[in-house]
Structure formats: C-alpha cells, structure tokens
Structure 1
Amino acid sequence: MLLDLPATASVEDSVARLKELHEAYRADYRAYYEAHASADSPAMRGADPLIVLVPGVGLFSYGANKQTARVASEFYINAINVMRGAESLSTYAPISDEEKFRIEYWALEEAKLQRMPKPKSHATRIALVTGAASGIGKAIATRLAAEGACVVIADLDLEKAEAAAAELGSADVAIGVQANVTDPLQVQAAVDAAVLAFGGLDLVVNNAGLSLSKPLLETTEADWDLQHDVMAKGSFLVSKAAARVLIDQQLGGDVIYISSKNSVFAGPNNIAYSAAKADQAHQVRLLAVELGEHGVKVNGINPDGVVRGSGIFAAGWGANRAKTYGIPEEDLGKFYAQRTILKREVLPENVANAVAVLTGPDLSHTTGLHIPVDAGVAAAFLR
C-alpha cells in the first residue's frame, strides 16, 4: 500500500487517507480472491496490508506482533532486491494472479491454518506496565505477554526491569526500561521507548507503588509526599503521557490503575498510603469520562494485601503491618486470607487475571469500573 500524501500533510489527513486506501485495498483483495477461488475454496482470510510505503519517510510493516511485522518487512525488502536484480539484467515480470492464488491458498497451507490455535486475546497490543520488575507488576507483564501482547517493563531498577523482560522472551516480545514515575521526563522516555520498540501503545498499567505503615502522629510530611508523588502524581504523569499517544493513534486503548481495597477501606496506621490510593481510584472515574470520547477505557483494580513476591512487603511494609496486627510477619498472608469472605490469599497472578479480562475483548464496553481482587472484604464493598 502506498500512502500517497505530501510530507506536509497533517496527521488527520494522513489517517483519513490511510483508512481510505485500506478500504480500497480490501476491496481489491476480495475481487482478486473471488476471481480465482473455486466453489470449494476456503473462506478468505483477513485482507489487511502488511506493508505501507510513505514517500519521503519509509516503510511501515505490520503484524500480530513485532516478530511477524519484522518478517513481513524482510520479505518485502528481499522482494525489492529480487526486482532490482532482475531489472539490472533485463526486466522483472511477476507471476500471474492465478499462480499467486495457488501459492497463498493451496490445500496444505489451508489445512495448516485450520489447525492453528485460536488467536490470543491481546495479539497486536502493546502494553506499558510500571513497577513491573517484581510482584504484581511482573505478574501482569507475564500474563499480557502470554496473551500475545508486546510488553514494556518499566521500573525504577533498570537491571531488574531488563532481567524481567528477558524472562518473557526476546526483544520482539518485551523490553525493560528505567523509569521513576515521579519524573515527567523519565515517564515520557518510557512511553517513547514503547512507541519506538513496538510501533505504538495500546495499554497502560499504573502499578508502581510503595507504602509506609505509620499512624497519623508518626507520619511526616516527607512520608506523605513520597507516597503521593509515586502513586497519585506518578499515575497522573503516566496516564497523561500515554493519553497523548492513545489520542493521536485514534485506535482507543486501555488505562488500568492498580489501586487498593484501602482506597475505600479505613484500615489502621495507614493514612498516607490509603489517601494516595483513594486519589488513584478517583483518577479512574475522572479519566474514564474525559478519555471516553477517544475510545479509551479507564478501569481500576482494588487488591487486598498481596504478600508473596511483593517488593513493597519485602521492603518493610510487611513487617510494619504484621506489627500493627500483632502477628509474625511470615503469617501475614494467612492472616489476610482469614479475614476475607472466601478465606483465600490474594496472589499477584489473581490481579494479573483481572487486568487481562479488563483489557481483553470481552469487556469492550466497560469503563470507570473498579474490580475488587480481595477474596471478599465486606468493609471494602463499593457503594
């Protein structure tokens, strides 16, 4: 497909022309299929262009993920080289449409396609997850990658972020970047890295967080500022930077906030953390309204304390909460489980499951929602 517009064309003009060319391409491809298909030919597969040429800019390739897009571009470049080589000797003549059809739709190829697994729910989607080198964030990144998404793991610790990304596969699947979410320049750099690595951005998870468990009279201004900077301000900065891309793309998207049951539950010795989480929870509602006109869904998840694999709990929060409740720290997960309706401990994977559902195809009409992932805490029921 050749995007035949001048370099001075606006983004809006380019998008409109690309949509027009896309529809024309699909019509041409359908005519090609119908002209060569027999009565027993299989149904036509999706006729979407893999290569878009923009004069003066270059080649853009598309696919279900970065790997398939890269392969498509390599095939195209090789085809150009074949044409150039042929024309240096005489002339290049492509095979007939009939022969192309035989290659594309031959019986064994169709049989192979029929045995292929169902497309993954997040194929073609590009996700940015903050605080994703451990705990809940890592579980979310792992689940999204398993569902076919390309993932950018953003974390304060670059080495851990890169290691977590490497566990998910090659750079075609995931990359790790360093990002302090309180710094707008680092946040913008993380968003830019996602766009540069994978070609866009579809899904953002505000997961980065920390906590200090202190009663009111022991909570300092520095304690308050730190927690609000990371969670309330940090989520705002990430959502703002991501929204610019999502709006420009005109493809919709998802923003997820990992809030907490503490955003609605009044627990002891927890003033700064719970207030910051309540801020995040209301950002969900505000942005759901503001970004809805652009097709962007904004939803939240309210977990109970996730002890296993948690960087927050390992960094002292667990010890403080155990002291507050008068139990050994190693029993904290069991304690949280016993106070729930279902008597189940909440794990990072449980939160990741909720993210996958909220951002998958089955909840395409849901925005402004908070999903509890707390095994049932009646005091945190939403009213």
Structure 2
Amino acid sequence: MRGADPAIVLVPGVGMFSFGKDKQTARVAGEFYLNAINVMRGAEAVSAYAPIEESEKFRIEYWALEEAKLQRMPRPKPLATRVALVTGAGSGIGRAIARRLAAEGACVVVADLNGENAARVAGELGGSDRAVAVTVDVTSEEQIADAFRAAVLAFGGVDLVVNNAGVSISKPLLETTARDWDLQHAIMARGSFLVSREAARVMTAQELGGDIVYIASKNAVFAGPDNIAYSATKADQAHQVRLLAAELGEHGIRVNGVNPDGVVRGSGIFAGGWGAKRAAVYGVPEEKLGEFYAQRTLLKREVLPEHVANAVFALTGGDLTHTTGLHIPVDAGVAAAFLR
C-alpha cells in the first residue's frame, strides 16, 4: 500500500503545500486537489456533495494502482529529489554537466551570464518541472543571491552546486595586464567563493547536507607557459576545495573538484579565442589542438565535455558518500599534473 504521509497539507492563514517524489508529482497532486475542491463547490451550489463509499475509494486508490506499480517498479534515478545549480551552464562543459545531472534525475538550475544560452539549455532538459534558467554574473553578490532565491522558489531548495563559470586569457607574464589578471580572478576565484558561500548558507539552513563541486583544471598543479593569470586562479579554486571541505564537513556538505585537461571540442572558452592562442603557443593549427592535447597524454585520448560531466556525477551520484576534499583528474593522463 501507499505510504501514509499526506500529499496535501493545508496551513490556515498560510496556504496549501503539495508533496511528491519530484516537482511534477507534487504539482499534479496539487492540481488534483484543487479540481476536487472545485467539484465539491459546484455540487454544494446545486444541492449537496456526497463522496463515494470508502470501499470504492480503496479499490480505486490502492488495488489497481499498486498492481500497476508492481508490474513496472522502476528504480528511482540516483539524483532524484536533488536540486542542482550549475554556473556557466549555457555552453560547453557546463551544458554537458547540466544535461548529465538532469538525465540522472536532478532538477537543474541552468545559470549563465548569457541568458539566451541558459534558456536554450533549460529547454533542452525539459519543462519547468525539470529545469529553469537564470541569468547571473558570478562576480555580483546580488545576482548570485537572486539565482539561489530563484532555485528555492522553483524547486524548494538547492542540494548540489557546480562552480563551472570561467574565462581564460592566454598571455605571457610581460603581456598580462592587471585587467587580465583581475578579470580572471573575479570570475573564477572570487566568483567560486561567492557562489559557494551562498550555497553554504542555503545548505546549512536546510540541514540536509549537500555537494559543492569545483571545475578547476590540471593547470592548478601544472606549470605551463604563457598562462600566469589562468593557472593562478585555478590554483586558487583548487585550494578553496580543500578549505571548504574542512570547514563545511560538520554540516554534511562535501566539497570536491575536477581537474580537466584542455577541453577543445564543445568548449565555450576555446571557441572564444583561447584555442587560437594556445595553438599559437604550441605551434600547431587550431583545428589540430584537441589532437595535440590528446597525443601528449598517457592514454592518447581527447577530453570532451561529457567526460568532465561523468566525473561530476561520480562525485555526486551516491557511491562516494564518504569522499570530500578530492580532486579527480580528467586529463587522459598528464604525468606532470599528477597530484602529490
């Protein structure tokens, strides 16, 4: 039989609350209840409302329904009931992460500076029961707070946050301006800090634990040429993982990171000029850059956005419940970037 927990709770002076395994189920329960009330109101307007007998209610509500459920018995997806907020999710790695989390059952808040891209990705994931888009500049405390409020309003809370928003400017030290430095640190180091701080506020208030994942880089531990600002801010992000894992563990919040190598195909950063500059540094045609990166790895494989998304799911899908403060390399094997 069904559980005895109510699907509808009425709080006088406050309103109606609907409950279900996900937003769609809760919404449908609320719609059924409102329709039932309207039927009762209509009946009372004519004469009187009389419900069906209890035995008929039982037959309709339990027997046939439970029999149908037993015939299918689908297992819930690993991220069912979880709400994820992904920054920089309008393209590239962020889009792949949003798609993977949604495919595994999560409701996803697609956050991006480009609102049109965010809306497009949210549309790919399904209707508003599955995903919503928010326009957010991660350098703005106010916009980040608004994004989390939108997530709470849409889905009731936030359980999983992925810091993916990023930008990259590839220049040697003597050509790197203060603006280059400040821009990259504002978006990735400061932005990740602001997003994680707001995530911690929401998660500690919920008292349900949670996950924060940083998309850092092998550059956080690897010293490459002509890349001072980007690599330094990625190292900042990597240490934020350790610091926040140590601080938030008592609240059941796990903080982990992913260190990809150059993700060329499907990457918004590489398409925005980063690819051409890195290709010039290494002396290869830009269209061959992904192949070049692959050939310098131990496995000789190109890293794609989906591979990074796989690592995020591995960290948050339920099998690594006792893991925090970890960085997973997704670089096809770069020996110089091995963690020590």
With the shorter chain as reference, the TM-score category is: over 0.9
The answer to whether residue 83 in structure 2 is matched with residue 119 in structure 1 is no
AA in 1 matched with 2:218: K
Query: Which aligned pairs between 1:268-283 and structure 2 lie closer than 5 A?
Result: 268-283=225-240
Provide the rounded CA distance (Å) in 1 between the counterparts of 2:70 and 2:239: 46
Partner Cα distance (1:296, 1:91) in 2: 54
Report if aligned partners of 1:336, 1:345 keep a CA contact under 8 Å in 2.
Answer: yes
- Normalising by the residue count of structure 2, what TM-score does the alignment of the two structures yield? 0.94
1:362 counterpart SS class: coil
Q: Which residue of 1 aligns with 2:86?
A: 129
Partner of 2:30: 73
1:224 matched to 2:181? The reply is: yes
CA distance in structure 2 between the partners assigned to 1:380 and 1:259 by the alignment: 13
Shift of 1:148: 1.4
Instruction: Give, in whole Å, the separation in 1 of the partners of 2:58 and 2:324.
Output: 44
Q: In structure 1, how many angstroms separate the alpha carbons of the residues matched to 2:112 and 2:277? A: 24
Q: Deviations over 1:243-290 (max 9, x none)?
A: 111111111111111011111111111111111011111111111122
Structure-2 change in CA distance of 1:151 and 1:268 (3 Å) = same
Kindly state the Cα deviation for residue 232 of structure 1 after the two structures are TM-superposed: 0.3
RMSD: 1.8
Give the unaligned 5+ runs of structure 2: none
Contact (CA 8 Å) 1:65, 1:148: kept in 2 or not?
no
- Quote the Cα distance in structure 2 between the aligned partners of 1:257 and 1:46: 38
Counterpart of 1:325 (choices 277, 282, 285) is: 282
2:96 counterpart SS class? helix
Count how many residue pairs are aligned between Structure 1 and Structure 2.
340
| Other structure's SS at 2:180 match | helix
Q: Confirm or deny: 8 A CA contact 1:65 1:149 kept in the other structure.
A: no
Q: Give the SS at the match of 2:137.
A: coil
**Is it true that 1:178 corresponds to 2:135 in the alignment?**
yes
- CA 1:369/1:100 → structure 2, altered by over 3 Å: closer, same or farther? farther
What is the TM-score normalised by the length of structure 1? 0.84
CA distance in 1, matches of 2:48, 2:194: 56
Structure-1 separation of matches of 2:65 and 2:208: 35
Determine the C-alpha separation between the residues in 2 that align with 1:52 and 1:250.
Answer: 22
d(CA) in 2 for partners of 1:333, 1:130? 24
SS of the counterpart of 2:300?
coil
Q: Distance in 1 between matches of 2:107 and 2:22?
A: 7
Tell me which moved more, 287-296 or 346-355.
287-296
Instruction: Map Cα deviations across residues 103-162 of structure 1 (whole Å, 9 max, x no partner).
Output: 233146423443143211111111111001100000000111111111111111111111
Question: 1:59 and 2:49 equivalent?
Answer: no
Range with bigger deviation, 73-82 or 270-279: 73-82
Matches within 5 A, 1:1-383: 44-88=1-45, 92=49, 94-95=51-52, 98-107=55-64, 109-383=66-340
Q: Which 5+ residue runs of structure 1 have no aligned equivalent? A: 1-43
Give 1:337 shift.
0.7
Q: Is the 8 A contact 1:122 1:147 kept in 2?
A: yes
> One-letter code of the match for 2:338?
F
Q: CA deviation at 1:324?
A: 0.8
Return the offset for 1:367: 1.3
CA distance in 2, matches of 1:67, 1:288: 33
Q: How far off is 1:93 after superposition?
A: 5.3
- What residue identity is the alignment partner of 2:213? I
Name the SS for the 2:323 alignment partner: coil
